[in-house]
Chains A and B, each alone.
Chain A
Amino acid sequence: MTKYVLQRVIYMIITLFIIASFTFFLMKILPGSPFNDQKLSAEQVHIMNEKYGLNDPVPVQYAHYIFGLLKGDMGVSFQFDNHGVTELILERIGPSAMLGFQAMFVGTLLGVILGVLAAIYQNTWVDYSSTFIAVLGKSIPSFVFAALLQYVLAVKFEIFPVAFWNGFSSSILPTIALAMFPIATGARFMRSELIEVLGSDYITLAKAKGASSFEIAFKHAFRNALIPLITVLGPLAVSLMSGSLVVEKIFSIPGIGEQFVKSIMTNDYPIIMGTTLLFAFALIAIILVVDLLYGVIDPRIRLAGGKK
């Protein structure tokens, strides 16, 4: 287990290095420059480029960046005067992470509950309601939910704050908006897996022995049905990250997602790199956790090659 985790961590570092290099060169293809303001003269742009080392050949810039990265220096933002990228990320990661985790937790939990209920009460109104919610969650983008929730629950009924970040209360509406997709995915996955498992021989045996529906569902089928669900956690996390880009903007949340989009629009290279690496790291870490969870849920799944 330790050896496996260590091996995965080394792979993670290599993956991050490849992503950093790839993103760096890709970013340089982006049209425009951080300083092509209408009112700047060519000389001024040259001076600004010189100041930030952008006049150097791209390989030299790349070497500087990687060397800085190894020392833990991600550079200085072009958008925010004298503010380091690390500092900016640390300031903004909190709200984004909180939203992400809450949405993942609420989304998966409710998704599983809905899926289980739909499977147990297959072809009843419970199943149809669950399907309806899942269809809504899958087909409507999170920012539409965000705008609707804001209008109904914050403006019309004034139950929640319209926007701004004041801790937990401000996170409720964005969390619900973000959680809709995981709820839908979780519910559909859980339902179909559980129905399949419920049709297995060992379930028929359990039924023959007189086990109740709930006992069959939770004691015998649930664990087996969870494994495919865990597989989709990684992609779900990605959908949350991309969803948060717009949702953070709608609720005026000082998160990292919105800043990422802005950095691309403004050619703020150090922030593009910093946030890309952060998202890549988060995704790789989630994939690792998912892999480790397989072993926890089903001990028959070996993490490393077993001994002969």
Chain B
Amino acid sequence: MKKSKLLLLLCFSLVLSMFLSACYGKDEEKASNEGSKGDTGTKTKTEQVLNTYETAEIPTMNTIMAQDAVSLNVMNQVFEGLMRLDKDNKPTLGMAAEEPQKNEDGTVYTFKIRDAKWSNGTPVTANDFVYAWQQTIDPKNATPYGAYMMGGVIKNAAEIGEGKMAPDQLGVKAIDDKTLEVTLERPVPYFLSLMTFPIFYPQNQEFVESKGDQYATNSDNMIYNGPFTLSDWNGTGLSWKYKKNDSYWDKDTVQLTQVNVNVVKETGTAVNLYKTGKVDRAALSAEYVTQYENDPDLNKYLEPTIFWFKFNQERTGKKTALANKNIRMALSLAVDKQSMVDTVLANGSVVANYEVPKEFAFNPESGDDFRKGNGDMNEYNLDKAKEYWKKGLEELGTDKLDLEILGGDSEVSKNMDAYFKNQLEKNLEGLSIKLKEVPFKIRLDLDTKQDYDIQVAGWGPDYQDPMTFSDLFVTGGSQNKMGYSNPEYDKLISDAKTTLATDPQARWEALQKAEKILMDDAAISPLYQRAKAVLQQKYVKDLYVHPFGPEFSYKWTHIEK
């Protein structure tokens, strides 16, 4: 009797462990069965299945609400606009059947819509674009990017966005089912590249309205006109699939039959999944790059994203020491950026001594990189930095300065900030740096309030033109929350948008001249151009990474084992 209770406990533990292992066995069996059906990692030679991941859930699949990286990426696989980015990141024909016709001054574009179908069999028409674009700019929908991307580009967009005009006044109309006419505010040289951005995709009015509030809340409440359809997405889940869309006009080009996507938020987990063959690609953060430096699967590529110091010249209504050009120039020249990208970042990022990134924008006539004209400016130069510093302090009538660097709270950001502090304090006598490391949202809040001295900020492009960077720093510009104003700079940007819009060469030169002014003023101090390091299986072919808008295209991807 006394020993029976112990025996009972032991028996219970045994039964429990048997039950647990039995359950696990069943799940394993199920998983391997699914695998053979093509749902998980195992692939045969002929199987065209890609296993990949995203770093966050899909916030929205309603194209008018597009703004974040994951949504843009998913939308690019399952929808298609008038144009889509090709293998060389050039806009190529999508729903447009042929190159659009332009009027003489480049403000009216006429597109012929190809004979394409939505996945429910209804044809894609010109009205699908008119409907979607009007929804995008309608203030009642509060779309995040409507006014930002359309304002000043599509006729009347700015006024409609501000509620001063009705959405049907937008410069877009359906001449007939297959003809779309777009009227612009001004000639926009990069207009076709804008057309690859999801807020310009079409929407089938009848279908959208039939679903009401439920439209795009899960993969069943949508229809698709892209290379793939979305499936197994419940609206908030951590996994989904793309399946080849048999209604897609160019379905013969699409070789993948399925793409399995899971959300993986930790780099370590992604690397482990890659090592066990569960995903075919894994992006690496700096600490992993060093570890995989000699791995044949490692690929590095430069992104057109630049990080810089923003020097705030006016804080809480008062001019700061950074309003002094010599001080700004001294700070710009005093950081050894090469050593930073080599040791702190160590992920292939390169030193940026410029505002417009390299390998991003090319002269429309000669094809030369934007960097060929201006090259490097404000490079690290300790002697000059000290000279400027001395002069600046004299002008300010002081021999010491206390400044604050506002940065992010990630490990990499903190390491970088510590490096900047060390460099600046060591190289500029009398300078004392305080670090303020906050989450991204708070940094943006402080930026909006212009409540900082020096901020480590970055920018990635939205379309393929230097303007996506250049107009940030005009007086009142979207990133110019630092009190910078130079009428000459403003004029050059304004000219590039208006009078020079139809003269590509003159416009190009104006933009290069503007960049030079920005650097001469040391309004910002560029630090580095970011690179991405990824592990990718050799059998994954033609997976294209785009420098702006949606990151990937799986349209041409195939598995070759």
Contacts and interface: CB of A to CB of B under 8 A. Distances in A.
Binding partners A and B: yes
A33 B30 CA distance: 45
Contact of A38 (B263, B265, B479): B479
B272 A151 contact: yes
A36 B448 contact: yes
B237 A155 contact: no
Contact of B217 (A51, A82, A267): A82
A39 B145 contact: yes
B175 interface: no
A43 interface: yes
B318 interface: no
A72 interface: no
Contact of A80 (B6, B161, B236, B448): B236
Given A40-B148, A168-B23, A218 B442 contact: no
Interface stretch (B222-230, B273-281, B339-347, B416-424): B273-281
Contacts of B269: 150, 162-163, 250-252
A221 B48 CA distance: 64
Nearest to A170: B27
A258 to B, nearest CB: 7
Contacts of B20: 168, 172
B24 interface: yes
B27 A32 contact: no
A187 to B, nearest CB: 15
A162 B272 contact: yes
B11 interface: no
A164 B272 CA distance: 12
Nearest to A264: B439
A35 B28 contact: no
Interface string A237-254: 000000000000111111
Interface residues of B, number: 63
A31 B147 contact: no
Interface in B242-280: 262-266, 268-269, 272-273, 275-276, 278
A256 B28 CA distance: 25
B464 interface: no
B128 interface: no
Nearest to A266: B441
Interface in B469-509: 478-479
Chain A interface size, under 10 / 10 to 19 / 20 to 34 / 35 or more: 35 or more
Contacts of B6: 214, 218
Given A37-B444, A81-B60, A249 B266 contact: yes
A166 B27 contact: yes
B272 to A, nearest CB: 5
B235 interface: yes
Contacts of A212: 2-3
A33 B278 CA distance: 37
Contact of B147 (A44, A91, A162, A170): A44
A166 B67 contact: no
Nearest to A34: B441
Contacts of A147: 268
Interface in B391-444: 439-442, 444
Given A91-B236, A155-B276, A169-B24, A44 B441 contact: no
A219 interface: yes
A205 B234 CA distance: 64
Contacts of B441: 31-33, 36, 265-267
Contact of B264 (A44, A211, A252): A252
B104 interface: no
Contacts of B217: 81-83
Nearest to B278: A162
Contact of A83 (B67, B236, B459, B479): B236
10 contacts: A36-B441, A37-B144, A38-B444, A40-B144, A44-B147, A81-B60, A83-B235, A91-B237, A252-B263, A254-B236
Interface of A: 31-33, 35-41, 43-44, 47-48, 50-51, 79-83, 87-88, 91-92, 109, 113, 147, 150-151, 154-155, 158, 160-170, 172, 211-212, 214-215, 218-219, 249-254, 258, 265-267
